[in-house]
């Protein structure tokens, strides 16, 4: 099956710093989403981004489908950004959203 690797696995930032999270996937995909899991376990959908670039406030994401990677940028980080970030992909041709989740990046933003 498709493999989804994220880096770095852990990241510690001071409040106000910027960061880039990476997601590599091993096969062609027709769906890629980024999620944030807060410290209480709730998963929040950040982006649907199978290709191209999107921005939402301090967050932006870029997917280069031909090179099989996606990047999530966090600017001016805040303590509320802490948690685990997952990318998830749907392998091309499966027809509906059977997502395969990546390994995750655990982010801690300290004040």
The least CB distance from residue 59 to other proteins, in Å, is 15
Residue ranges that bind other proteins, judged by CB under 8 A: 31, 33, 35, 40-43, 45, 48, 86, 88, 96-104
Give 17 or 22: the residue with its C-beta nearer to other proteins.
22
* Closer residue to other proteins, CB minimum distance, 25 or 35: 35
CB of 7 to other proteins, least distance (A): 14
Query: Which ranges of 22-102 would DSSP assign to H, the alpha helix?
Result: none
DSSP at 67: G
CA nearest neighbour of 74 among 29, 32, 52, 105: 105
> In whole angstroms, how close is the CB of 74 to other proteins at the nearest point?
19
CB burial readout 33-68, b (16+ within 10 A) else e: bbbbeeeeeeeeebbebbeeeeeeeebbbbbebeeb
Q: Least CB distance from residue 104 to other proteins, whole Å?
A: 5
Choice between 17 and 27, CB closer to other proteins: 27
């Amino acid at each position: 099956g498709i493999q989804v690797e994220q880096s770095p696995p852990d990241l510690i930032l001071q409040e106000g710093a910027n960061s880039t999270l990476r997601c590599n996937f091993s096969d062609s995909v027709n769906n890629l989403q980024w999620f944030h899991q807060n410290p209480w376990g709730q998963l929040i959908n950040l982006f649907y981004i199978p290709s191209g670039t999107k921005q939402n406030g301090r967050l932006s994401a870029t997917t280069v489908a031909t090179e099989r990677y996606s990047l999530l940028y966090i600017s001016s980080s805040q303590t509320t950004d802490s948690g685990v970030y997952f990318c998830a992909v749907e392998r091309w041709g499966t027809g509906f959203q059977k997502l395969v989740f990546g390994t995750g990046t655990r982010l801690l933003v300290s004040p």
